[in-house]
């Protein structure tokens, strides 16, 4: 009898707990959890990694939050495109893909930038591609024009030398202006002053995979600063003094270099020693920034602003052909915690001639693991193996 009383008490407690569980599950106020709902509950697809890593993509779900902690609200973010009126058809194609695979579920606004006013045709046709708000912004001349300290004669002579070295677009002033604007000006535009994140989209790019979670929320909830899909070697002829200038800068500001940096990735000389030699110690590895999902706070930080201003005064955006991709990549590799840089392996993407094509049933129109549909020698341009070697796979 002495044993029976605790047993009956334990049984009563179990019944009470079971009733509470049923009430909690079927109460009208209980949340209905669906994998693709807009409440922070996402799927884990074990087949998303083209390299064959078995654990797939880790994305945060409601269960990942501490008790009582909720998923974040809608993120202050935009899809961002620098595009000309004459690139309308290519922009519409890119919008078709991204709206179909992702944005029709979340309706983030589009922000279009141009150095000249957009035509009514451009506005009408782009707005027709999305239910989201479209914003059409003019770049201030002060942000676009060649700065006053650049010697025009030296620029023209430098362009001739670059052309002899087979540097593409070396004689196109607008290309140099674009690289400088994407490096250090776009985030200063008043139109995105209140934005925290952006997803850069260019004309004629393609997206192949259904993405069922809010990538901006993923960035925020997982404390990520920058997201990429493709990681390549750059042409050393475009950046011969970028790394030497960078070394000058960090010698003056060692306090900006993060203790968990990606210096080894930036300076590797094993896989492509000739690149390292020609670029003054820089591997030329960089995130291909025609795709980037990023936290604007990094570009607006004092470390990056000081770095950009140093590079801008050095003149390499015009005397050489420094692109925003190596500039962004070097800054991230030095001044940011490498663990906050994320490979979006699950986003199928193409910018001619390179692909990121995951192994997933959610992807259509690309070949799993294929880097390029161009010449076979282009495969050696892939710098992701170096990133995985020195930093990891997120």
Residue spans per domain, the chain: 77-390
H-run or E-run covering 356:
strand 354-356
> Among 82, 317, 30, which residue's Cα sits nearest to residue 177?
317
Q: Does the N-terminal peptide bond of residue 63 adopt cis geometry, omega within 30 degrees of 0?
A: no
What are the residue ranges of helices labelled H in the chain? 4-26, 88-101, 120-127, 141-144, 152-164, 173-184, 215-221, 242-252, 263-267, 273-278, 296-299, 302-314, 316-319, 324-335, 384-390
Task: Please choose, from the candidates 338, 71, 45, 65, the residue with its C-alpha nearest in 3D space to the C-alpha of residue 209.
Answer: 45
Please give the model's pTM, rounded to 2 decimal places.
0.82
How crowded is residue 269: how many other Cβ atoms within 10 Å of its Cβ? Answer: 14
**Per-residue model confidence as pLDDT tens for the chain (394 residues):** 444 444 344 344 444 444 443 344 333 333 333 333 323 322 333 333 333 333 333 333 323 333 333 445 679 999 999 999 999 999 999 999 999 999 999 999 999 999 999 999 999 999 999 999 999 999 999 999 999 999 999 999 999 999 999 999 999 999 999 999 999 999 999 999 999 999 999 999 999 999 999 999 999 999 999 999 999 999 999 999 999 999 999 999 999 999 999 999 999 999 999 999 999 999 999 999 999 999 999 999 999 999 999 999 999 999 999 999 999 999 999 999 999 999 999 999 999 999 999 999 999 999 999 999 989 999 999 999 999 999 998 6
Q: Say what angle helices 120-127 and 88-101 make with each other, to 10 degrees.
A: 20
Active site residues: 292
Per-residue buried b or exposed e for 346-367, using 16+ beta carbons within 10 Å of the residue's own CB: bbbbbbeebbbbbbbebbeebe
* pLDDT at position 53: 35
Instruction: Give the CB-side neighbour count of residue 5, counting CA atoms within 13 A.
Output: 2
Pairing of strands 292-295, 226-228: antiparallel
Dist CA 182 CA 194 (whole Å): 18
Give me the phi and psi of 292, to 5 degrees please: -155, 140
Answer yes or no: are the C-beta atoms of 33 and 39 closer than 8 Å: yes
Residue 49 confidence (pLDDT): 38
Residue 240, number of CB atoms within 10 A of its CB: 17
Task: Give the tens place of pLDDT for each residue, 119-148.
Answer: 999 999 999 999 999 999 999 999 999 999
**pLDDT by residue (tens digit) across 324-383?**
999 999 999 999 999 999 999 999 999 999 999 999 999 999 999 999 998 999 999 999
Fold topology of 77-390: Spore Coat Polysaccharide Biosynthesis Protein SpsA; Chain A (3.90.550)
What distance in Å separates the CA atoms of residue 203 and residue 79, rounded to the nearest whole number?
Answer: 13
How far is the first Cα of the chain from the last one, in angstroms, to the nearest whole number?
A: 59
Question: How many CB atoms sit inside 10 A of residue 258's CB?
Answer: 16
The widest CA-to-CA distance across the chain, in whole angstroms, is 104
**Phi then psi dihedrals of residue 325, to 5 deg:** -65, -55
3-class SS shares of the chain: helix, strand, coil, % to 5: 45, 10, 45
d(CA 123, CA 121) in angstroms, rounded, equals 5
DSSP state at residue 108: P
């Amino acid at each position: 009898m002495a044993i029976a009383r605790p047993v009956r008490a334990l049984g009563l407690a179990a019944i009470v707990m079971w009733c509470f569980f049923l009430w909690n599950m079927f109460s009208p106020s209980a949340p209905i959890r669906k994998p693709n709902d807009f409440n922070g509950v996402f799927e884990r697809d074990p087949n998303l990694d083209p390299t064959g890593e078995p654990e797939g993509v880790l994305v945060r779900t409601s269960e990942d939050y501490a008790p009582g902690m909720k998923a974040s609200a809608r993120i202050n973010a935009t899809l961002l495109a620098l595009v000309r009126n004459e690139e309308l058809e290519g922009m519409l194609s890119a919008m078709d893909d991204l709206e179909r695979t992702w944005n029709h579920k979340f309706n983030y606004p589009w922000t279009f930038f141009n150095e000249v006013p957009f035509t009514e045709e451009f506005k009408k046709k782009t707005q027709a591609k999305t239910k989201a708000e479209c914003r059409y912004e003019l770049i201030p001349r002060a942000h676009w024009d060649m700065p006053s300290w650049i010697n025009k004669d030296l620029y023209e002579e430098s362009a001739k030398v670059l052309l002899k070295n087979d540097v593409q677009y070396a004689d196109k002033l607008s290309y140099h202006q674009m690289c400088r604007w994407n490096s250090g000006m776009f985030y200063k535009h008043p139109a995105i002053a209140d934005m925290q994140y952006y997803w850069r989209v260019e004309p004629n790019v393609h997206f192949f995979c259904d993405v069922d979670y809010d990538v901006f929320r993923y960035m925020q909830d997982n404390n990520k600063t920058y997201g990429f899909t493709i990681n390549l070697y750059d042409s050393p002829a475009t950046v011969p003094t970028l790394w030497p200038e960078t070394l000058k800068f960090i010698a003056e500001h060692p306090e900006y270099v993060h203790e968990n940096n990606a210096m080894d990735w930036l300076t590797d000389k094993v896989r492509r020693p000739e690149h390292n030699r020609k670029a003054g110690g820089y591997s030329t590895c960089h995130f291909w920034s025609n795709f980037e999902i990023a936290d604007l706070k990094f570009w607006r930080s004092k470390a990056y602003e000081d770095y950009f201003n140093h590079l801008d005064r050095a003149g390499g955006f015009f005397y050489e052909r420094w692109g925003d991709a190596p500039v962004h990549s070097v800054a991230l590799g030095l001044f940011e915690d490498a663990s906050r840089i994320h490979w979006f392996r699950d986003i199928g993407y193409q910018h001619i001639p390179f692909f990121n094509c995951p192994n997933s049933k959610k992807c259509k129109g690309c070949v799993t693991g294929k880097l390029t549909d161009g010449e076979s020698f282009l495969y050696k341009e892939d710098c992701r193996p170096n990133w995985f070697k020195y930093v990891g796979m997120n």
